[in-house]
Amino acid sequence: MKSTIIEKAKEVIDKRRFYADSYAIKNKAQAFEDPIFKELYQKYTENMIECAKLGKEMSDEVKALKQKYYARLKELKLPSIDPDYSCKKCNDTGFVDGKYCQCLIREINNILKKESGFLSFEDFDNVKFEVFGEDDSMKKLYAKMKSWCHSDFHKNLIFIAGDTGVGKTHLVKCMANELIKLNHIVYLTTSFAMHQDFVKSYSTRDLEQKNQLLDRYLNCEFLFIDDLGTELRLPNITLNYLYQVINERKMKRLPTIITSNLDLYNIKDYYDERIASRIIDKATSICVYIKGDDIRLKKA
């Protein structure tokens, strides 16, 4: 994603680094008030620089100096002068070997979660299969979807159809959660909300805003579209934008997970042949239909 979401997440990480550095600087200034510490520390840095210039590793003498100044800090009961970064993997830079660090991915997901309105996800480990009755087909489906979350995503479109209340949203919330645990970037949205962004993107003349509004749908690593078919259909918008999202994601091999009350036959009627054929594409899609009663009624 090119979007501002990554920048926002990076700001959170940068702030952490800033606070850790500032705190370390403050601690160092306090420690420098002690002449013994100051002398040890300065000797240590001079030697360090000397070693670096010569391209040598830290000598035993330098190591000993470091030990000494640490001991002096302890004696003075002063806090460490090293920055205490929240993430030890990236030292609060957000990147490891040029790739997003887990801490940055976590922040990106937090922002996407807040913006999506889906504040709580579910966990595969806590699913109570009793609500689905005697039939164990749901158990099998949950297992299949969990293993997909751990796959190579060669199958990059999952279409889950079924009547209202059969548990489609619950299932995708488990999947979203599982993918986040595996450090993927996930955006879960309703078809209704996505469509509102389509309308905004269509209506604006500002090209940057136009693209910005579509960015997460076109570029987010994993996109979940809940309840396809419940949006307000508009000419010139619905079919074109939906096709663009599904098609571009397929071409970029970015996984898309769709739930709908419409089955595949109805998708073709409700939208068009192009959209249906991208969804149905046997080689790269998994389509499932959940039969069953309304669990929410059963629970009640």
Q: Between 137-149 and 168-181, two packed helices, what is the crossing angle to 10 degrees? A: 30
How far is it, in rounded angstroms, from Cα 249 to Cα 280? 14
Residues facing residue 287 across a β-bridge: 159
Q: Which stretch binds Zn ion (CB under 5 A): 42-50, 84-92, 134-142, 264-272?
A: 84-92
With respect to Zn ion, which residue has the nearer C-beta, 101 or 176?
Answer: 101
Nearest to 145 by CA among 159, 130, 129, 165: 159
DSSP structure string for 71-138:
HHHHHTTPPPSS---S-TTTTTSSEETTEE-HHHHHHHHHHHHHHHS------GGG--GGGG-S--HH
Question: Residue 89 interacts with Zn ion (CB under 5 A)?
Answer: yes
Question: For residues 89 and 150, which CB has a smaller minimum distance to Zn ion in the complex?
Answer: 89
Q: Does 20 bind Zn ion (CB under 5 A)?
A: no
Give least dist CB 226 to Zn ion, A.
30
Using CB under 5 A as the binding rule, whether residue 103 contacts Zn ion is answered as yes
| Least distance to Zn ion, CB of residue 104, Å | 6
User: Could you tell me if 186 and 224 are in contact, meaning their C-beta atoms sit under 8 angstroms apart?
Assistant: yes
Q: Which of residues 246-275 bind Zn ion (CB under 5 A)?
A: none
Task: Tell me if 166 contacts Zn ion by CB under 5 A.
Answer: no
Total of residues contacting Zn ion (CB under 5 A): 5
- Does 87 bind Zn ion (CB under 5 A)? Our answer is yes
Cα separation, 111 vs 204, in Å, equals 24
The sign of the torsion formed by the CA atoms of 129, 130, 133, 134 equals positive
Contact residue for Zn ion among 101, 171, 257, 258 (CB under 5 A): 101
* Pairing of the two strands 99-100 and 95-96: antiparallel
CB of residue 90 to Zn ion, shortest distance in Å: 3
Q: Which stretch binds Zn ion (CB under 5 A): 79-87, 185-193, 240-248, 275-283?
A: 79-87
In degrees and rounded to multiples of 5, residue 298 shows phi and psi of -60, -45
Q: Given the complex with Zn ion, which of 108 and 160 has the nearer CB atom?
A: 108
Q: Which is nearer to Zn ion, 90 or 267 (CB)?
A: 90
Q: Please identify, among the stretches 103-111, 155-163, 191-199, 202-210, the one whose residues bind Zn ion according to the rule CB under 5 A.
A: 103-111
Between residue 176 and residue 205, which ones bind Zn ion under the rule CB under 5 A?
Answer: none
What does the binding site for Zn ion look like in residue numbers (CB under 5 A)?
A: 87, 89-90, 101, 103
